[in-house]
Structure 1
Amino acid sequence: MPAQLTNVLVTVGVVAVFLAAVFAVSVRRDRHDLIDVAWGVGFALVAVTTFVLSAGHGDAPTRVLLTSLTVVWGVRLAVHIGLRNRGRPEDRRYVEIRSRARGNPDRHLARVVYLPQGAVMLLVSLPVQFGQYGPGAPGWLLALGGAVWLVGFTVETVGDLQLRRFAADPANRGRVLDSGLWRYTRHPNYFGDAAVWWGLYLLACGTWPGAATLPAPVVMTFVLARGTGKPLTERHLSRSRPGYADYVRRTSGFVPLPPRRG
């Protein structure tokens, strides 16, 4: 059995056990937004698991770079979401899903949230898994992938920090953040997320199996821009922020661009 296939099978088991543990803790707490914190941690677990399994099979600099960049991104995101959720009510998305469920609401959440999230996590992490096997990418491709990752990580981190500071000021209650990075895109955090995974994909392109994982960053970008990321956030903000419609008219929805006039 090829080493890459063995790696995928092992990471399937790791993700399944991890999410089962998160689900058990969430049921005991009667609160399920811990799954949002688990998103970043899960990717970090996959990267570290692959690093251990790929020892002796792949290029050391590529393995170290893919693992460390994934762990840094995943841990930062988990810490950010954990701090954001601390002391707040459960995320309205999970409250609504459970309120509409027929039968056991926790089992319903497992089907519509935990299982899809695990599947997406495994698919999106394929560049991190396949990229750690084989001869590795040439130096110029490692530099390009690292640069794209750094741009995404910086935009995401700065955008989250600006939003946290804005939300912490009581004077901003009901207002729309339209300064800093938020002046150029309505979702710098989602754009940054997508760029991070395009950077990791480039790092994996030193081999044909790694290059064949192109669907991974495409799926991540679609989820952020058209799936559960941007559309759900904007639907809520359009109802709760009076000035949001005007903000939408003048500000790019995803890729940072100069604001539109008029």
Structure 2
Amino acid sequence: MNGIDGAALADCLAATLGAALAVLLAAFVVGARSGVHRHVDVAWGLAFCAVALTGFLLSAGHGADSRRVLMLVLVLLWGLRLSAHIWWRGRGRPEDPRYARLLERAPVERRTGYALRKVYLLQGAIVWLVSLPVQVAMFLPHPPALLGWTGTALWAVGLFFESVGDHQLGRFRADPANRGRVMDGGLWRYTRHPNYFGDACVWWGLFLCAADAPIGWATVLSPLLMTYLLVNGSGKPMLERQLGSSKPGWADYAARTSGFLPLPPRHRHAAGGRSHPTRRPEG
């Protein structure tokens, strides 16, 4: 199997699943005690870090050290930055409306168990599935080649969009003069979700790092799953529904700004009392 020790990889996959679930279960204890489940978003990035660290330790003697170190560093930089940002942004805030609406689907007396299944265990499983390229890459016996370094470059593009986009939005929200307004400057001028676009780039880049070998291509469902969640799942659609009902200028911003891929803003002109976009790329 491309020079990979299949038994060692299988053991690693079992251990990384346990690591991901351990982080999410620890977050569940915090959420159950506090009654606030938004902290699971902090655990999300930490769970990926736990998977990468477990894979790094268990792949010793099996995978090329240069690739193992590369994958560990890339995941830790992404995961720790994301968790720190989410923690800082959410400190002292009440429950996230997304989780509040989700838990309203269950009777009050059953919400703790419902949260365990629908929030924590589900996210633990997704972390494990999305991180499969990282786990496989750490067992590849040869150093990164052209495709691996291409993936690293794409990862860097993704981290740039995530970190710069988050920083720009944070500065915008910190200014009281912007209360109720829509952020439409910086990277947000070209995509309504630079952080989500960056997240997709990160995981497609990590997939390319595993695609140096044929077995790595078997993990292509991982970045596809992450991209689907960002574009059609719990990412973009849920956030835009919330912003559409709370931000008066959101409809106009959405009409001129790409929904995902960074693209030049669409120019608008008045015609018959209405504004029409002059170009309508999907994004």
- Give the TM-score category using the shorter length: over 0.9
Point out where structure 2 has 5 or more consecutive residues left out of the alignment. 1-5, 269-283
Contact 1:137 1:207 in 2 (8 A): no
- Per-residue Cα deviation, 1:1-29 (whole angstroms, up to 9, x for no partner): 61111111111112222221111121111
After TM superposition, give the deviation of residue 49 of structure 1 in Å: 0.4
Q: Which residue of 2 aligns with 1:182?
A: 188
Contact 1:160 1:189 in 2 (8 A): yes
Q: Which residue of 2 aligns with 1:234?
A: 240
Separation in structure 2 between the aligned mates of residue 14 and residue 259 of structure 1, nearest angstrom: 43
Amino acid at match of 1:49: T
Separation in structure 1 between the aligned mates of residue 248 and residue 79 of structure 2, nearest angstrom: 34
Alignment of 1:142-161 (within 5 A): 142-161=148-167
Q: State the TM-score, normalized to the length of structure 1.
A: 0.97
Amino acid at match of 1:143: W
- Per-residue Cα deviation, 1:99-144 (whole angstroms, up to 9, x for no partner): 3312411111112111221111110000000011122354322321
Amino acid at match of 1:185: T
Separation in structure 2 between the aligned mates of residue 193 and residue 125 of structure 1, nearest angstrom: 13
Between the aligned residues of both structures, percent identity stands at 53
1:38 aligns with 2:48: no
Amino acid at match of 2:26: A
Contact 1:159 1:182 in 2 (8 A): yes
After TM superposition, give the deviation of residue 212 of structure 1 in Å: 1.0
Q: State the TM-score, normalized to the length of structure 2.
A: 0.90
Separation in structure 1 between the aligned mates of residue 160 and residue 99 of structure 2, nearest angstrom: 29
* Residue aligned with 2:37, SS: coil
- Per-residue Cα deviation, 1:29-67 (whole angstroms, up to 9, x for no partner): 111111000000000000000000000000111111111
Contact 2:23 2:46 in 1 (8 A): no
Separation in structure 2 between the aligned mates of residue 197 and residue 61 of structure 1, nearest angstrom: 19
Q: Which residue of 1 aligns with 2:87?
A: 82
1:140 aligns with 2:146: yes
Separation in structure 2 between the aligned mates of residue 124 and residue 118 of structure 1, nearest angstrom: 10
Alignment root-mean-square deviation, CA = 1.2
1:251 aligns with 2:257: yes
Q: Which residue of 2 aligns with 1:109?
A: 115
Point out where structure 1 has 5 or more consecutive residues left out of the alignment. none
Q: Which residue of 2 aligns with 1:210?
A: 216
Separation in structure 1 between the aligned mates of residue 35 and residue 257 of structure 2, nearest angstrom: 38
Which protein is richer in helix relative to its size?
A: 1
1:131 aligns with 2:174: no
1:29 aligns with 2:15: no
Larger Rg: 2
Separation in structure 2 between the aligned mates of residue 136 and residue 98 of structure 1, nearest angstrom: 47
1:56 aligns with 2:80: no
Q: Which residue of 2 aligns with 1:224?
A: 230
Contact 1:156 1:192 in 2 (8 A): yes
Separation in structure 2 between the aligned mates of residue 88 and residue 19 of structure 1, nearest angstrom: 20
1:260 aligns with 2:273: no
Q: Which residue of 2 aligns with 1:93?
A: 98
1:13 aligns with 2:2: no
112-121 or 149-158: bigger deviation: 112-121
Q: How many residues get paired?
A: 262
After TM superposition, give the deviation of residue 241 of structure 1 in Å: 0.7
* Residue aligned with 1:141, SS: helix
Separation in structure 1 between the aligned mates of residue 252 and residue 177 of structure 2, nearest angstrom: 20
